[in-house]
Structure 1
């Protein structure tokens, strides 16, 4: 490949304090903080390699980019890229794996502690003057449950699911891995999906979003869970029916939920989670579970290394 042109469509998805490693070959580099859908084709006309985190590259876009040779996804999830179209057009696709095996599990555990001990609810009560009116040195308006001895059910047994399991075990939790929903047989070390929902005190989601996993957890699945259970989603927003979740929280079907991901991002007031974020048993963060500085630097290192491998004719972290 002669002097490749590399275009980063959404550089702002990586914080400015994170340095991208130097590429060991001559190239032309173009980057944009953000790219709107209508700007994609124009910005990629001369691109040999495109870097994208969340910008959509579907068939209608790819068929207008005959010079494009590689898509380097700056994330693990690649549902924003039409993989079948890439295979048809001969476009290589790579993603970044294993960079957040510390950051995401720690975020899951942090959310779990906050929800099991109802920290948000008590914080809100103090802000509302409940402690002051109570006239006692302490007061109990929300249930508090311990972590040790409780059970975590994990959906998705990749690197993040396994790392979360290790942290949970270190805290004295029992860990169950759920088999794929609808599977007629279980692999060794797995239990049926519905059984894991029924047995767990905490459900943590770490699976990809696709046609099979969209609304993996809806009203029926929530009804199978313990009234004292908590759902934590650091995977993808569409894994859970958000309206069903809010109803379950309000009706006491489950105790709490911690969400770092949303069906549409950034989420606005039309999103059920945002519209109900005042609930004491709902904890929200803006898709930052993966975002410790060390994890993002590791992501940047792997991202650039994927590009180097492609230019050198090696396959690394390829999904197409």
Structure 2
């Protein structure tokens, strides 16, 4: 049986990873990245499209009659016009829960940096402040323990619950906000929070979820981390809150525009704001699990073609 043709439109997005599991099931063509105007030409004749962030919309899909399957090299499928796929008979599969351990780990790395400020401690050593100290330890700036504090997790899926489990090991109280939580429950959970961790999907209902009003509910001593989607936060409102000291700190691994443009320059000077380049999902092991999940999807779908 001839293998179907599969085109990976943005293979560079996975970094160095072994794609051979995909080649067991399909004749694989990989492009590092693909511009909007290149999509149609590159997908001509393909039965399978693989995309991480390249958008596949109705206007494109209706001109690709051989296409039978789209695999999202990600957990989310918002880059794919799912309604058009249903109408055109194109199956859509994603990579599932490949990134949980990686995202949980990076989430806590960022929370601990916000709370413990290890960057300042390293600077004190590098700049000689410790060597000049009249006592054996430098205890300023002070930091607080997490034990006894409250973590509010917004988005209580597999990742959110993984973050919560670590919080419990630290001795924290945990409040979980799901899609079924009421507005009153969200407000109460944000008002009680010492740490807020965002892991919700981006939908019309969650866009701008953390806005100026809700930032006003937070304790000035609270810290916020976002490893969900950039659009969950009203970024100008967050910057304003940080600049006037209404929030102790924030760490963002995601922005609404990625990669960012010139707007990033202004963010670099915002006090107590940590920015990382969307790395939460990307441990070496997670990226290889992603490939394995895509290979399983290919095997399952192609096997059903007969």
Distance in structure 2 (CA, Å) of the matches to 1:235 and 1:221? 17
Of stretches 139-148 and 161-170 in structure 1, the one that deviates more from structure 2 is 139-148
> What's the RMSD between the two structures over aligned residues?
2.4
Q: What is the deviation of 1:161?
A: 0.7
- Tell me which residue corresponds to 2:4: 4
Distance in structure 1 (CA, Å) of the matches to 2:269 and 2:278? 18
Correspondence 1:219 to 2:212:
yes
Correspondence 1:200 to 2:200:
no
Distance in structure 2 (CA, Å) of the matches to 1:95 and 1:200? 33
- Tell me which residue corresponds to 2:294: 303
Q: What is the deviation of 1:145?
A: 1.5
Q: Secondary structure at the match of 1:224?
A: coil
Residues 168 and 3 of structure 1, relative CA distance in 2, 3 Å threshold = same
Q: Quick check: 2:22–2:298 contact (8 Å CA) kept in 1?
A: no
Residues 201 and 81 of structure 1, relative CA distance in 2, 3 Å threshold = same
Residues 35 and 148 of structure 1, relative CA distance in 2, 3 Å threshold = same
Q: What is the deviation of 1:293?
A: 1.0
- Tell me which residue corresponds to 2:14: 14
1:289 to 273, 276, 280: 280
Question: 5+ residue gaps in structure 1?
Answer: 185-190, 315-320
Q: Deviations over 1:71-120 (max 9, x none)?
A: 10000011111111111111110111111121111111110110011233
Of stretches 13-22 and 55-64 in structure 1, the one that deviates more from structure 2 is 13-22
Of stretches 235-244 and 11-20 in structure 1, the one that deviates more from structure 2 is 11-20
Q: Quick check: 1:118–1:281 contact (8 Å CA) kept in 2?
A: no
- Tell me which residue corresponds to 1:67: 66
Distance in structure 1 (CA, Å) of the matches to 2:22 and 2:59? 32
Residues 148 and 182 of structure 1, relative CA distance in 2, 3 Å threshold = closer
Distance in structure 1 (CA, Å) of the matches to 2:286 and 2:62? 34
- Tell me which residue corresponds to 1:318: none
Distance in structure 1 (CA, Å) of the matches to 2:262 and 2:244? 21
Q: What is the deviation of 1:140?
A: 6.3
Q: Quick check: 1:153–1:176 contact (8 Å CA) kept in 2?
A: yes
Distance in structure 2 (CA, Å) of the matches to 1:102 and 1:179? 20
Question: 5+ residue gaps in structure 2?
Answer: none
- Tell me which residue corresponds to 1:275: 266
Distance in structure 1 (CA, Å) of the matches to 2:271 and 2:144? 15
Q: Quick check: 2:22–2:28 contact (8 Å CA) kept in 1?
A: no
Q: Deviations over 1:32-75 (max 9, x none)?
A: 01111111111111111000000011122112222211110000
Distance in structure 2 (CA, Å) of the matches to 1:249 and 1:124? 22
Correspondence 1:262 to 2:255:
yes
Distance in structure 1 (CA, Å) of the matches to 2:172 and 2:15? 34
Q: What is the deviation of 1:3?
A: 3.5
- Tell me which residue corresponds to 1:56: 55
Q: Secondary structure at the match of 1:50?
A: strand
Q: Which one has the bigger helix percentage? A: 2
Distance in structure 2 (CA, Å) of the matches to 1:40 and 1:19? 21
Q: What is the deviation of 1:172?
A: 1.3
TM-score, normalised to structure 1, is 0.87
Equivalences for residues 96-111 of structure 1 within 5 A: 96-111=95-110
Distance in structure 2 (CA, Å) of the matches to 1:254 and 1:136? 33
